Chains A and B, each alone.
Chain A
């Protein structure tokens, strides 16, 4: 019967895999292995067993059934980690309030988004999906692996990765909240960098008191069964967790003064895990950052797209690294994330970093900043089988990523790339349409931010002029 045939046929054609890929053991043979933490190994094999790097060496003997990948003449590096991304998200900014610690990107991971695959095709295996920069304290971020092919957001989760949260200083939160037009969405604090500090202090102080109130309640409950619990507050729960050190802070920031300001505030609340994101002027206070133990996650070369990045330099990463600040290069873009190896290479043009230093900015350094350095970020026995294979040295402009493995599962193979890999297809609209491009100058997150604002706010004109040029 026709109906049965159709359903049966469909089962064979489903766009999304019903089950997650299962890690097959794989050995990558005879490569130049850029371990990042343990030097470069020539003519070396890497064996991945059960999704974990189990052996590194020459002429490895492998269990029967192990998939062989001949990487003779090729370069193998750890899967790239993007410490700042907004791909694969249904929404980016809950831009309606200056403090939204309670929201989480975990709730809005979109596993269908083509950007996941495109980044994998650039050797990226882990991305830090961040809340936008509209709010002083934005939402919690989500660290994911690029496990393309599943429709279940949970399959992408980087199990065991520490919680992180987005903060934002400077022009974005002051523009979004303090310098909005009139009408339904009028101005609220902060309109200045002074206000930003007070919004932070206010949130931390309330978080601290909230934490103390619950601690007091828990203590009282032991002796008084009629103790009354404090009012529940999702937002303050997260602030308390930050103070307890359970949530790593990643702060959108540009100017040197605001960077130092945040270290002062954090110090007052005993928070020491801080990565400054973008941080175009971090180089000006590199010694202060090093002294605080703060990290930086920066652009390779973006500047001048707004006033607070006018006095910046592409030598930022090099200056920071030379001053002892652990520094990563991130994309913040659905375009740049496809060639982070090239963005890292620019630290050689702008500051002459050694190869391993440059590679560290997209591997072990972001891993440290995300608290996942025990799992990923270098090629070492016991680490996850997250690997990128390149034709050509990855720091060369002519490098071409050829294969990418996540947990030993091949998620990208240039030779077998079927062009149209969409998991989700519009079932009714026109096909084969020009959709426009994201280019290396576009700030991807800002496009998403605009969409969010359009969802959240009615006043289109106002919003567009305010956020398209970020």
Chain B
């Protein structure tokens, strides 16, 4: 252990960030590392070269460009940045302080609300998250039937433009059929009221999509030839739904209960929506064959959750992602977290341990996630031409004992700084002086 730590220290002394606390792009060569490409297997003692925001070389025998900053990865591992396909990161800051929370807009039908607008690039939780190796997340608005578009963001940048990973998804909270089981906390409604509420919600959903189809027809016709046609009304809600009808934007349909999943599969089919993924899907294992048959990818999680039914086996939430995957469903894993998105690798680790296997679980937080989010041209694996989102670790990032040592996002070598690390440095040996020198890493004691 001590040997490894010394090694780690030696390596880190070489890392440019230790001299310069600003994230920088440049030409970097990470050498002699065990590279988990995800797309093309593992490369022992390999090298990755980054230039600007892209990976320009990956392999066991790669020439290091002149002037490249070399990071010796001997004894270390290189992974593609992990992707969390369901969070509220950047939208919520302090849970109980309403003024700091921007997930829920007023209204039931607000698909034109863009999460990218409200993601706070300076959220304290963002650095806390990325130092775990999670470089990209889906940040979701919430509430109502159509709460808005979720943003896919990289966890470094000062503006939305710098952070976006180039994809957005329209969120649909699929109506939940009322359960006959005991209701949770909150004001109790009668069974009839709840049934009525559900039926109304389903009717409303169809009505909204009927309107959107009509609107799309009008807009298409108007765009083709406006002459002699009245200018269509301003309907930003409908505008926001249009790309989902065409398939240009993915519909992220949030659904959990067995019956609701079945209903949602039928609904998607009936409406002939071309580009839909399901999110949550906590009872997906119950209908895994149906999901596989429908070819609907699932963003599953959180994995660290109790079973959905008191009669379920205790580990069902751990096993869900693996059961879906084994049935042939494409699975990405989501943490459902805000300030603890850093637990994504642990969600994946539990899924791996309970039937999914390490390889599939790693895919579920890298390449599968990128594919499901429509960003796999740029993200999700260590391949030439992709964006340089990756991290260097002492081992398997799903293992809590592993330390994440360095981080690249869009080619930026991002300092391993966060409030949690800063406080550690300040307070570990408080009485011996308030501020510790930067050489003292979190891994050190």
Contacts and interface: CB of A to CB of B under 8 A. Distances in A.
B307 A314 contact: no
Given A117-B314, A349-B403, A454-B185, A319 B302 contact: no
A342 B180 contact: no
Given A339-B304, A400-B353, A435 B310 contact: yes
Contacts of A460: 186-187
A117 B310 CA distance: 11
B93 A319 contact: no
Given A319-B428, A335-B305, A398-B352, A306 B97 contact: yes
Contact of B353 (A114, A398, A430): A398
Contacts of B222: none
A338 interface: yes
A397 B398 CA distance: 7
Contacts of A417: 313-314
A306 B94 contact: yes
Contact of A302 (B176, B317, B340): B340
Contacts of B444: 352
B107 to A, nearest CB: 19
A426 B184 contact: no
Interface string A288-307: 00000000000001111111
Contact of B306 (A313, A338, A397): A338
B310 A114 contact: yes
Contacts of A437: 256, 282, 305-308, 317
Interface string A427-460: 0011011111111110000010011001000001
Interface stretch (A9-17, A74-82, A279-287): A279-287
Contacts of B282: 437
Contacts of B257: 434
Interface stretch (B69-77, B228-236, B246-254, B342-350): B342-350
A440 B311 contact: no
Given A315-B424, A430-B180, A440 B302 contact: yes
Given A313-B423, A350-B420, A351-B445, A399 B94 contact: no
Determine the interface band of chain A, counting residues with CB < 8 A from chain B. Answer: 35 or more
A430 to B, nearest CB: 3
A346 interface: yes
A310 B445 CA distance: 24
B51 to A, nearest CB: 31
A441 B94 contact: no
Nearest to B309: A435
Interface residues of B, number: 74
A348 B399 CA distance: 9
Given A121-B314, A434-B257, A352 B443 contact: yes
A334 interface: yes
A430 B339 contact: no
A435 B181 contact: yes
A315 B96 contact: no
Given A426-B182, A440-B305, A447-B184, A171 B96 contact: yes
B124 interface: yes
Nearest to B258: A434
B350 A397 contact: yes
Interface in B87-127: 93-98, 124-125
B411 interface: no
B267 interface: no
Given A306-B95, A422-B311, A441 B179 contact: no
A305 B306 contact: no
Given A301-B340, A435-B308, A348 B179 contact: no
A244 B313 CA distance: 46
Count chain A CB atoms within 10 A of each CB in B179, B306, B430 and give the residue with the most.
Answer: B306
Given A304-B94, A315-B420, A318-B424, A419 B311 contact: yes
A351 B425 CA distance: 10
B354 A304 contact: no
B225 interface: no
Given A286-B430, A338-B314, A352-B442, A429 B306 contact: no
A287 B430 contact: yes
A290 B258 CA distance: 52
Contacts of A334: 306
Contacts of B315: 121
B314 A304 contact: no
Contacts of A171: 96
Nearest to B191: A430
A417 B307 CA distance: 15
Contact of B185 (A121, A351, A397, A447): A447
A301 B96 CA distance: 17
A277 to B, nearest CB: 18
A58 interface: no
B401 interface: yes
Contacts of A305: 94-96, 339
A395 interface: yes
Contacts, number: 209
A86 interface: no
Identify the interface centre among B402, B429, B442: most chain A CB within 10 Å of its CB. B442
Contacts of A311: 419, 423
B117 to A, nearest CB: 22
Nearest to A443: B95
A429 B180 contact: yes
A311 B95 CA distance: 13
A433 B317 contact: no
B179 A439 contact: no
Interface in B168-216: 176, 179-182, 184-187
A469 B103 CA distance: 14
Contacts of B424: 313, 315, 318-319, 350-351
A118 B310 CA distance: 10
Interface string B350-369: 10111000100000000000
B135 interface: no
A116 to B, nearest CB: 11
B400 A342 contact: yes
A69 interface: no
B68 interface: no
Nearest to A285: B430
A345 interface: yes
A432 B336 contact: no
Interface in B423-444: 423-424, 427-431, 442-444
Contacts of B182: 426, 429, 435
A322 interface: yes
Contacts of B302: 439-441
B312 interface: yes
Interface in A41-92: none
Interface hub of A345, A348, A433, A450 (most chain B Cβ within 10 A)? A433
A426 B95 contact: no
B356 to A, nearest CB: 11
A135 interface: no
Contacts of B421: 313, 315
30 contacts: A305-B94, A305-B96, A307-B97, A310-B124, A311-B419, A311-B423, A312-B423, A322-B429, A334-B306, A335-B304, A342-B350, A348-B400, A350-B420, A395-B400, A395-B401, A397-B349, A397-B399, A398-B398, A417-B314, A422-B311, A426-B181, A434-B258, A435-B309, A437-B282, A437-B307, A438-B305, A440-B305, A441-B302, A469-B96, A470-B96
Which 7 A-B residue pairs are closest in the complex by CB-CB distance? A430-B180, A397-B349, A434-B257, A433-B181, A305-B95, A315-B424, A304-B339
Interface of A: 114, 117-118, 121, 171, 283-284, 286-287, 301-307, 310-315, 318-319, 322-323, 334-336, 338-339, 342, 345-346, 348-352, 392, 395-400, 417, 419-420, 422, 426, 429-430, 432-441, 447, 450-451, 454, 460, 464, 469-470
